[in-house]
Amino acid sequence: MSKGLLRNKKPWGGRFKEATDELVERFTASEHFDRRLFRHDIAGSKAHAEMLARQGIISSQDAHNIIEGLSEIEADIEAGRFQWRPELEDVHMNIEKALVDRIGEAGKRLHTARSRNDQVATDTRLYVREQIDRMDRLLSLVQEALLLQASERPALVMPGYTHLQRAQPVLWAHHMLAYFEMFKRDRQRLKDCRKRVNICPLGSAALAGTGFPIDRQYVARRLGFEGISSNSMDAVSDRDYLVEFLAALSLVMVHLSRLSEELILWSSSEFSFVDLPDAYCTGSSIMPQKKNPDVPELVRGKAGRVFGHLIAVLVQIKGLPLAYNRDLQEDKEALFDAVGTVSLSLEVMAGIIAHMRPREERLAEAVKSGFLTATDLADYLVKKGVPFRQAHAIVGQAVAACARQGKELTDMTFDELRALHPNIEEDVFDVLSAEGSVGARNCPGGTGFARVKEAIESASLWLRTWKK
Ligand code: ARG
């Protein structure tokens, strides 16, 4: 007997004269990362064994032993007592082999009427479903922190920007709630994706289904799936749901990254709009004065990593002939890393948002320069009968004149203002202040005080009534 045959511990050994090359073993093994699916794998196997017994395909005694054995294995894994063996390739075979070692014959019957192809598809769906629910909870923490920022300072005015140039005054609360909306859509997207994730592929077997009289509906119900897949070939090779999930996670990162970018800008001395909590910043090894926004910088950087995983899975599946191909094993590291990255980013951002403090005096000062109420002056003229285009031109000239003289619109005297247009009256000063400007913007979705107060209420109602 060759050394190789002795080493060949795989259950398909019958077909092979030679043992797997050690390098190939290392190359094909996934146990070191897919072991993370052990709970899902065991849950799937238990449901499968129960069903096999109900259908009379295996005895109830065998099913009982299988289920007991699997519970013990699960406890061993959780306690760190389980001996993982890379030569057994993946999580599925590690667990199956341990079961056979533990309970003998009965363990060898578990794999009746299934294949690792429908098994891994089931495990991954169970994992993604669980992670969608976790992401939903983490997103709610970020939303709560944003809502807290908004409701603590419902009347704080700050400059709003377009092209990163001061544009119009807005409420700090309005700015916070803009992100609340983004994360709301993220949660809705994940909920939608969950519908397509929550379908049971088990019973598709290798690719063609099985000749055993299995009850797929029973297994699906036991595992909390909403239904069963309709085509066995599709079911073992479909990873669309992963693409959807990674795309939804990518958008979460887009939103976190945009918010991070703002926190980085706002905490610079150029802006000085917010103080980030010390506990979420780091110092410099050389410059004693530094307090760096490394947390939002890392979140911004990690976004790229998650987008990369989305692209990786798209590329992995685009050229695959039906049905299962081993390329599909590559989806897992991408998936796990994306999940880890996004969940940590959400947790840390929830903390930083909850504890950051806007520098109110700086914001109040900032809204006073940059001609933020120029549009309000133009709107004022319109209300006094001047066509908007003409009003726009008049105010544009006034801004240019002020800029030349180094002053703001609010520094103009009544006579200077009056010279712009004879319809201008004393009440013009009401619209030139930042508060006046904000107060006027009461259209639905606008930054007006009344609208934002309602938005705070409806955001909090949304959080309380949202069902994932
Ligand atoms: N580790 C494999 C995966 O992640 C499990 C399925 C293996 N199936 C096979 N026919 N080799 O995709």
pLDDT score recorded for residue 19: 87
Looking at the fold, whether 207 and 325 belong to one and the same domain comes out as: yes
Which residue, of 41, 72, 106, is where some domain finishes? 106
Domain count, the chain: 3
pLDDT score recorded for residue 8: 57
More reliable by pLDDT, 287 or 229: 229
Average pLDDT of the chain? Answer: 95
**Helices 172-197, 116-152: inter-axial angle, 10-degree rounding:** 160
Question: Ligand 1 centre and the CA of 87: distance in Å?
Answer: 14
Looking at the fold, whether 435 and 320 belong to one and the same domain comes out as: no
Q: List all residues 6 or more positions away from 32 whose beta carbon is below 8 Å from its beta carbon.
A: 84, 86
Neighbour count for residue 156 (Cβ, 10 Å): 19
Q: What is the DSSP string of 197-210?
A: HSEE-TT-TTTT--
Most ligand 1 atoms within 8 A of CB, residue of 91, 94, 116 to mutate: 116
Looking at the fold, whether 132 and 214 belong to one and the same domain comes out as: yes
pLDDT of 3 higher than 60:
no
Q: In three state form, how does the secondary structure of 154-195 look?
A: CCCEEEEEECCEEEEEEEHHHHHHHHHHHHHHHHHHHHHHHH
Question: Ligand 1 centre and the CA of 387: distance in Å?
Answer: 70
The verdict on whether 284 is a catalytic residue reads yes
Please identify which of the residues 71, 268, 284, 369 carries the catalytic annotation. Answer: 284
pLDDT tens, position by position, 185-228:
999 999 999 999 999 999 999 999 999 999 999 999 999 999 99
pLDDT score recorded for residue 9: 67
pLDDT score recorded for residue 55: 98
Query: Which CATH number do you get for residue 127?
Result: 1.20.200.10
Whole-angstrom distance, CA of residue 222 vs CA of residue 6: 40
pLDDT of 287 higher than 90:
no
Looking at the fold, whether 361 and 350 belong to one and the same domain comes out as: yes
Residue nearest to atom 3 of ligand 1 (CA): 329
Share of the chain above pLDDT 90, in %: 93
pLDDT of 2 higher than 80:
no
In a domain, 4, yes or no: no
CA angle 119, 120, 125 (to 5 degrees): 100
In a domain, 10, yes or no: no
Residue nearest to atom 4 of ligand 1 (CA): 329
Whole-angstrom distance, CA of residue 94 vs CA of residue 441: 63
In a domain, 189, yes or no: yes
pLDDT tens, position by position, 153-187:
999 999 999 999 999 999 999 999 999 999 999 99
Looking at the fold, whether 255 and 326 belong to one and the same domain comes out as: yes
Which residue, of 315, 333, 365, is where some domain finishes? 365
**What three-state secondary structure class fits 358?**
strand
Mean pLDDT of 438-442: 95
Looking at the fold, whether 214 and 345 belong to one and the same domain comes out as: yes
Structure-block tokens of residue 234: 């599709």
Looking at the fold, whether 138 and 227 belong to one and the same domain comes out as: yes
pLDDT tens, position by position, 313-342:
999 999 999 999 999 999 999 999 999 999
Looking at the fold, whether 194 and 324 belong to one and the same domain comes out as: yes
- Rounded to a whole number of angstroms, the CA Rg of the chain reads 31
Question: Ligand 1 centre and the CA of 59: distance in Å?
Answer: 28
pLDDT score recorded for residue 282: 87
Looking at the fold, whether 331 and 407 belong to one and the same domain comes out as: no
Mean pLDDT of 128-134: 98
Local structure of residue 14 (DSSP, 8 states): G
- Please check whether residue 122 is in contact with residue 324, taking contact to mean a CB–CB distance below 8 angstroms: no
In a domain, 344, yes or no: yes
pLDDT tens, position by position, 349-397:
999 999 999 999 999 999 999 999 999 999 999 999 999 999 999 999 9
Ligand 1 atom closest to Cα of residue 30: 1
The verdict on whether 60 is a catalytic residue reads no
Looking at the fold, whether 82 and 127 belong to one and the same domain comes out as: no
Mean pLDDT of 92-106: 98
Residue 396's domain spans which residues? 366-465
Query: Which CATH number do you get for residue 33?
Result: 1.10.275.10
Q: Which residues line ligand 1 (CB under 6 A)?
A: 30, 34, 90, 116-117, 120, 324, 326, 328-329
Looking at the fold, whether 184 and 289 belong to one and the same domain comes out as: yes
pLDDT score recorded for residue 20: 87
pLDDT of 87 higher than 80:
yes
Mean pLDDT of 126-131: 98
Mean pLDDT of 4-8: 47
Banded model confidence at residue 286, pLDDT cuts 50, 70, 90: confident
Mean pLDDT of 148-154: 98
In a domain, 66, yes or no: yes
Looking at the fold, whether 371 and 399 belong to one and the same domain comes out as: yes
pLDDT tens, position by position, 28-68:
999 999 999 999 999 999 999 999 999 999 999 999 999 99
pTM exceeding the 0.85 threshold for the entire prediction: yes
> H/E element holding 137?
helix 116-152
Residue nearest to atom 7 of ligand 1 (CA): 116
Most ligand 1 atoms within 8 A of CB, residue of 90, 236, 336 to mutate: 90
pLDDT score recorded for residue 98: 98
Question: Ligand 1 centre and the CA of 110: distance in Å?
Answer: 17
In a domain, 158, yes or no: no
Banded model confidence at residue 13, pLDDT cuts 50, 70, 90: confident
Residue nearest to atom 12 of ligand 1 (CA): 329
pLDDT of 6 higher than 60:
no
In a domain, 11, yes or no: no
Question: Ligand 1 centre and the CA of 125: distance in Å?
Answer: 14
In a domain, 16, yes or no: no
pLDDT score recorded for residue 4: 41
Which residue, of 301, 335, 365, is where some domain finishes? 365
Query: Which CATH number do you get for residue 382?
Result: 1.10.40.30
